Amino acid sequence: MKRIIALAALLPTAALAHPGGHFGQPLLDGLSHPFSGADHVLAMVAVGLWAAVTGGRALWAMPLAFVTALLAGGPLGASGLTLPLTEPLILTSILLLGTAAALALRPPLSLALAGIALFGAAHGFAHGAEGPTQGLALYAAGFVAASASLHALGLSFGLALNSRLARALGGATAVAGLALAFA
């Protein structure tokens, strides 16, 4: 795992840039932002997939850990702080979450939740840094709702598909993350 994080820190981050498309309305901007970059979509769907293949309490705890940390990271990003490893950490989240779903990894739930929370905070930091200076609460409500919908999409796919297909989708997510790294 340390090697993957070190490798991700060296990779280009241009592929993670999000295009425009802001509406000038904080709620709509927040709702649209998670869909504006493949990095966010892939990581959030992967959380849902991993939760689905894990089952039990993970079904609600994994998405909740991500969204809670997303909310904590947002104001930090909006505050103007710089966190130099934010984009590599986001890229790493796609690789590791997709791989965890593909392998149906089942570490202790507390360990899985801690990792998911770290990734959620990085995504929240990026959302906050790229968000509006006015209307942060509405923006946060929008990006939380959109993020939760992406988790629900991953959960739905994971629960609707047989385990082998759900795991294959997790693997495809990790491969897509790797492709972003070299784009």
Q: What is the pLDDT of residues 65-110, one digit of tens each?
A: 999 999 999 999 999 898 889 999 999 999 999 999 999 999 999 9
Q: Mean pLDDT across the chain, nearest whole number?
A: 88
Confidence of residue 14 (pLDDT cuts 50, 70, 90): very low
Percent of the chain at pLDDT above 70? 88
Burial class (CB in 10 A: 0-12, 13-18, 19+), 23: exposed
Q: Is the pLDDT of residue 27 over 50?
A: yes
CA-wise closest residue to 140 among 84, 88, 69, 83: 69
Confidence of residue 22 (pLDDT cuts 50, 70, 90): low
pLDDT of residue 18: 46
pLDDT of residue 163: 87
Q: Is the pLDDT of residue 4 over 50?
A: no
pLDDT of residue 21: 43
Q: For residue 143, give every residue at least 6 positions away whose Cβ sits within 8 Å of its Cβ, in sequence order, or none.
A: 30, 31, 33, 34, 70, 74, 127, 131
